[in-house]
Amino acid sequence: MNIKFDRTQIQGNILRGYRRNVVRHLMLEVADRAAARQFLGVSVAGGTAEVPGITSEAPWPDKKPPPVCFNIGLTYEGVRALGTPGDPHATFPTEFIEGMTSRALKLGDFGPSDPKNWPAPFDKPARIHVIASVYADDAAHLDHVQAQVARAFTVLGVRDSGDPADRNLPAGRKPDPDKVVFGFTDNISQPRFAEIRDDPDTKSADEPIDPLGTALLGHPTRLEGLVFRVPAPDVLGLNGTFNAFRILAQDARGFDAYLDKAANELVAHPDVDQLLAPGGEAFIGEGLDRVGALREIVAAQMCGRWRNGVPYGVSPDAQWPNPDVSRTNFDYGGASRCPAGSHMRRVNPRGGTIVQRIANYTRRLIRRGMVYGPDFDPAHPDDRERGLLGNFIGASLGAQFEAIMCDWLNLGLLDPDITGANDPLIGANTPETSWFDLTLRNGGSIRLRGFPRFVTTRGGAYTFLPSLPAIKYLSELMT
């Protein structure tokens, strides 16, 4: 199947990010099918004073998204609740039908991340029919849209990024939308599409152009002759995609404590000079002593980037290289000093050699997310929950999201040197079994052990992000 692409028919939060200050995700139940359908019909037609309009991928004036952006995703139970005719089991993929909680072991959601520990409403996943996402620059807009949505749906739960004013930021400092809780700059590398050339996040990246089938159903993929199955009828499935919505609590205090432990052990290691050359502290960060610089090296190697986003493999001895280097234009060759087990190299091996050679660039995901909770201040550590509200979007939950989570992040099957080790940042680690190999300048390595799980899943759901024609179709069903 090869269909004509019309960007105005795509929901706007798929191929480009909105870059708003705040986001609110509403977990909704369809209690009144007629009311829900009527709401969708008005919303997809542009909205009114009483109903927010669906934000599309249509080119935005001055290349800026509207003040309030509104989009929806349907769970499998939501598809059924809206009265889709026929048997959705026949054409929707198994992983979407079963849902995220049923796939927990494959995703590493066990122990503290087990769905039995998820708070409401994620403890009753069958009731979550729709996840509506509202993006704006202030909480007042979020409140207004939530009140509108509540007239047509039952609001089971709300998760939002919170007011930036409550982030405990130093005076005069604005929130950085690209900073995650562990202090790393994020949102650097995203898939690029020939059809979307006005996205500031990807236009300067020197990476392969991804086919639309990476993100949208009904279009060719990077695998020759393979097009992921489109749910029936075509009007429902074409130009839709799937999303793994995840609430990920990040233990910033635990990560900070582990960096202290690792650095204090490394400073006495006989090979420490191969990790940090004598006098090299000044290239890592201003005013750092040897232990402080080692902390940053451990963090950078675990991530695959320095905290400022500079790729470790491009600049392994300096967080602030002179001259500066590209954050996106690099690859992993045989001599790369970026560890094969690092988070960034696991989730996107780029053109580097991996065991599953056919998988290069075939498991790309679109990542949309925003931090929640207060900023972490190492000088005044606390245990308040903070983390990421993440959306991981792709045409196949199984071949993209689940394959990355299982094969690459939590089994290390992409490289025999890391098989059996989990991702050091977001993997399902325990102090008894965890290990990670730091790379050295002489080609050797130092193995770190004993780090805990730093990221815990606190809720989530698999959703289908329908096209605008699909939303219109659902609104007009009569049964």
With residue 283 as reference, give the H or E element that holds it. Answer: helix 281-284
Residue extents of the structural domains in the chain: 7-249+459-475, 250-373+412-458
Centroid of chain to Cα 479: 36
Which structure tokens are listed for 256?
């900070």
Over the stretch 6-60, which tens digit does the pLDDT of each residue have?
999 999 999 988 989 999 999 999 999 999 999 999 999 999 999 999 999 988 7
Over the stretch 423-466, which tens digit does the pLDDT of each residue have?
999 999 999 999 999 999 999 999 999 999 999 999 999 999 99
Per DSSP, the residues of 17-32 read: ----SEEEEEEEE-S-
Question: Is 213 in contact with 219 (CB distance < 8 Å)?
Answer: yes
Which structure tokens are listed for 108?
């590493």
Question: Is 307 in contact with 319 (CB distance < 8 Å)?
Answer: yes
Over the stretch 260-305, which tens digit does the pLDDT of each residue have?
999 999 999 999 999 999 999 999 999 999 999 999 999 999 999 9
Q: What is the pTM of this model?
A: 0.95
Q: Are strands 241-250 and 455-465 parallel, antiparallel or unpaired?
A: antiparallel
Q: Which residues of 343-381 are buried (b: 16+ CB within 10 A; e: fewer)?
A: bbbbbbbbebebeeeebbbbbbbbbbbbbbbbbbeeeee
Q: What is the pLDDT of residue 201?
A: 56
Quote the CA–CA distance of 212 and 372 in Å, as a whole number. Answer: 31
Question: How large is the angle between the packed helices 252-266 and 290-303, nearest 10 degrees?
Answer: 120
Quote the CA–CA distance of 242 and 326 in Å, as a whole number. Answer: 31
